């Protein structure tokens, strides 16, 4: 913060951050959509055109972004489907939104939830563990059947603990996770960008394994420092055209 209101009072101790990682980090957005019931009352031809336009937008952005689609109808009431996008350019995020809004379906589709985040190296794992290219900075889905997504906020008491304490607790957390090899975790960071601190996204082919893992994690010491971990979204991988068909769009 160069020109803070208070910057005169102190001398800069380390004005450069030369050791920051140079590898680019991705912007990530989980956007949950719900169709306005008015859509269903429109002529079939217009709805067919609208669906095709939405699929075309999705396909176009697959070239520059990672794009995935998930259905939530029948599992969560406040949304019908979710698009998961990861990209290096904020223009890609704004572009998808702009194109959808200007499409035939635009006036009838609502973003009921959305989580904005970025990839980042974890402070709890030594950077020696990775080479020059850190795979944690690139979203690479396992493309399993289920994705479970929720925003995550830790208590401020957590951040007041010594780093070694936090590392010890995270290690316990990780050990529990490793006993569920069928579940994969992607963690991205939202500090300052959105209302949560992290977005966690678990992939698995086995719902009950995931449920059992989350219940078991409640008993870890780190879990005592959770401030918020809702809303929780159970998502099922489906091609976008099948989702639109299933919700009768």
CA–CA separation, 105 vs 47, rounded Å? 8
* Residues 10-29 close enough to bind a second copy by CB under 8 A: 10, 12-17, 20, 25, 27, 29
Count of positions (residues) in the chain: 249
SS3 16: coil
> In sequence order, which residues have a C-beta less than 8 Å from that of residue 121 and are 6 or more positions away?
21, 127, 130, 134, 136, 137
232 part of the interface to a second copy, by CB under 8 A: yes
Using the rule CB under 8 A, which residue among 53, 55, 60, 120 binds a second copy?
Answer: 120
Rg (CA), the chain: 20
Nearer to a second copy, 184 or 241 (CB): 184
Q: Which stretch binds a second copy (CB under 8 A): 45-53, 54-62, 89-97?
A: 89-97
46 part of the interface to a second copy, by CB under 8 A: no
Alpha carbon of 106 to those of 52, 54, 55, 56, 57: distances in Å? 13, 9, 13, 14, 12
**How many positions of this chain bind a second copy (CB under 8 A)?**
113
180 labelled catalytic:
no
Q: Which stretch binds a second copy (CB under 8 A): 44-52, 53-61, 62-70, 88-96?
A: 88-96
96 part of the interface to a second copy, by CB under 8 A: yes
SS3 164: helix
Using the rule CB under 8 A, which residue among 55, 66, 138, 193 binds a second copy?
Answer: 193
CA geometry: angle at 202 spanning 111 and 58, to 5°? 40
Q: Which stretch binds a second copy (CB under 8 A): 44-52, 56-64, 150-158?
A: 150-158
Using the rule CB under 8 A, which residue among 48, 56, 62, 75 binds a second copy?
Answer: 75
Give the β-pairing of 27-35 and 146-154.
Answer: unpaired
Q: Choose, from 61, 150, 180, 189, the residue flagged as catalytic.
A: 150
> Of 121, 123, 117, which Cα lies nearest the Cα of 31?
117
Nearer to a second copy, 29 or 51 (CB): 29
177 part of the interface to a second copy, by CB under 8 A: yes
Kindly list the catalytic residues: 150
């Amino acid at each position: 913060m160069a020109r803070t209101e208070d910057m005169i009072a102190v001398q800069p101790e380390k004005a450069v951050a030369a050791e920051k990682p140079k590898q680019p980090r991705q912007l990530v957005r989980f956007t949950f959509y719900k169709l306005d019931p008015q859509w269903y009352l429109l002529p079939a031809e217009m709805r067919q055109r609208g669906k095709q336009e939405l699929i075309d937008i999705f396909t176009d952005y697959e070239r520059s972004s990672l794009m995935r689609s998930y259905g939530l109808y029948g599992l969560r009431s406040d949304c019908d489907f979710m698009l998961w996008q990861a990209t290096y350019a904020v223009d890609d995020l704004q572009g998808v939104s702009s194109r959808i809004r200007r499409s035939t379906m635009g006036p009838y589709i609502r973003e009921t939830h959305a989580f904005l985040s970025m990839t980042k190296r974890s402070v709890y794992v030594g950077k020696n563990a990775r080479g020059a290219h850190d795979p944690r900075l690139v979203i690479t889905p396992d493309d399993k059947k289920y994705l479970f997504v929720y925003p995550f906020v830790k208590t401020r008491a957590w951040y007041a603990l010594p780093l070694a304490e936090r590392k010890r607790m995270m290690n316990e957390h990780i050990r529990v996770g490793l006993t569920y090899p069928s579940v994969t975790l992607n963690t991205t960071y939202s500090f300052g960008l959105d209302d949560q601190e992290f977005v966690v996204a678990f992939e698995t082919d086995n719902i009950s394994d995931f449920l059992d893992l989350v219940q078991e994690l409640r008993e870890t010491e780190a879990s005592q420092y959770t401030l918020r971990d809702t809303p929780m979204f159970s998502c099922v991988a489906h091609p976008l055209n099948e989702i639109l068909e299933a919700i009768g769009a």
